[in-house]
Copies of this chain bind each other. A is one copy, B any other.
């Protein structure tokens, strides 16, 4: 049973500077520039069928694979992000562009509902022969999410109908019944899309198909593994699979038996999000227990301090417990976006601040780092240390992260609140106004703050007459020490239950709740088994993790050493990168001069005094490539 419901972002107006600026950048810069990139990279053109089959823009790899298999998904994600933009502000030109895309997709859809521009154009006889590798369902999922978003934004259901026919085709092709194949996606995504479609339409068939995919995944109970069956049907030996085993796509075990977070990180996070959705929809205790075990595993052993996931480039995913290298971190932007999805669904299952803490961490740090200040440059992988070679790019041969971060920012307000019959949970802060149904009435919440720079939050509560007694549950983040609250000026007893301050009363118009969430800078240390962070310290202030960029430091950032007791000063810089708070403090840095040309010596280089300056991680690499260090050396001397 779902305890709390998400509040759609379109019901929440962002007023705070921090997210308002990011949102405006996405609406005015990111979405148009992404459209231009879709056109120049031929992705937009690839859905215009029929036409002579052009050569592949991106050649196949040796295993006959090309990222062009995914291009439909990029169209779907861009439509989704653009539709979120339309929910904020209608735009006739963008709508015309989306309608033209829908025209093309409608034309490309086959009579039986099949819709995949790559296969229909290039190898129609091979459709549905390689679910393991070629992303047909992943594409369909993203198109479906785009269709749902466009329907919500405009009320127009043509795209949704196209995708409904497509889902009907898929449900007729795959499933448990006679004459159907027991397949499921190699890259999970369609499952959360189907749940969204179910919520948007109330049509149970969407939920049923999502449920089938999750239930069937990794099933070898009396049947061969579907990816084996499929491989043999293609004339391939399943043992020749590039990734060795099906942990890569979390299809190595039925999902309810999974307790270790493994494989490709984005696949994993999308699947866990869908599992949390279905655990709520079906009140499925086994599914919920699996979600909780996986959550525990990832947050206790396999998460970067930035809320990044998946250290390895090889599988774009997970490796071993405590294996969190900094300079080679993959920590794909998409994986953190997907973590926001999963965490939000866990919060709906169970109002526990640990989920919101990780949601906030991933959102403000690893995910947000993926989008540049100018809104048109991106990180795909998010390293925690760079010698200066790592840099933002304006497009990628696999542009998945670009539209993932834009759709996240455009809908960020959807993660602010959780709603129950007589309770409103406030997960995130940052200046927002919303009106929500609660306790038989409605209440308007006007939150004003300078979050994430300042932890003083003001919430004006205005219920409509007739609204009953309800609980307002603002979150007290785990990074906060000494939180306090005042209601109409009077101190509130801090009855914090699992990260939420519960205030139950007969709220009245004019009520003002003030929170003070101190966010003094803190030092963070990694578990002793994280070998890469041994002897090192990270800095955090509120939800933001900090790093040292060479631009702001006189000494090479990899040489900086911070004493355990060195004071950390906050310095507000309103004019820097949109306004931010820097951290600075006395530090020491080894001086290489006395070494001459020696590579190794029998005495450590003398250290000289310097000042360490750190900025929020999300803001790095917006002034050109330069070295960056997140985990600093800590030494008393």
Q: Using CB atoms and an 8 Å cutoff, list the residues of chain A in contact with chain B.
A: 61-63, 296, 299-301, 303, 305, 320, 323, 325, 327-328, 385, 387, 522-531, 534-538, 556, 558-559, 561, 564, 589-592, 595, 597-605, 633-637
Contact = CB atoms under 8 A, between A and B. Distances in A.
Copies of this chain, complex-wide, total 2
A387 B603 contact: no
A601 B529 CA distance: 13
Chain A interface mostly: loop
Nearest to A593: B528
21 contacts: A62-B62, A300-B598, A300-B599, A320-B387, A385-B531, A523-B602, A523-B603, A524-B601, A525-B600, A526-B599, A526-B600, A527-B601, A528-B556, A528-B589, A531-B558, A535-B561, A535-B634, A535-B635, A537-B604, A635-B635, A636-B636
Nearest to A607: B528
Q: What are the nearest 8 A-B pairs in CB distance?
A: A62-B62, A528-B590, A531-B558, A535-B633, A525-B604, A300-B597, A528-B592, A535-B535
A241 to B, nearest CB: 16
Nearest to A523: B602
A537 B534 CA distance: 13
A497 to B, nearest CB: 20
Given A600-B524, A601-B524, A556 B529 contact: yes
Given A328-B328, A635-B535, A635-B636, A529 B592 contact: yes
Contacts of A633: 534-535
Given A534-B633, A635-B535, A636-B636, A598 B527 contact: yes
Contacts of A523: 602-603
Contacts of A561: 535
A597 B292 CA distance: 14
Given A387-B323, A534-B559, A637-B636, A525 B601 contact: yes
Contact of A599 (B62, B303, B602, B604): B303
Nearest to A481: B602
Contacts of A320: 387
B605 A528 contact: yes
A603 B556 contact: no
A564 B597 contact: no
Contacts of A536: 535
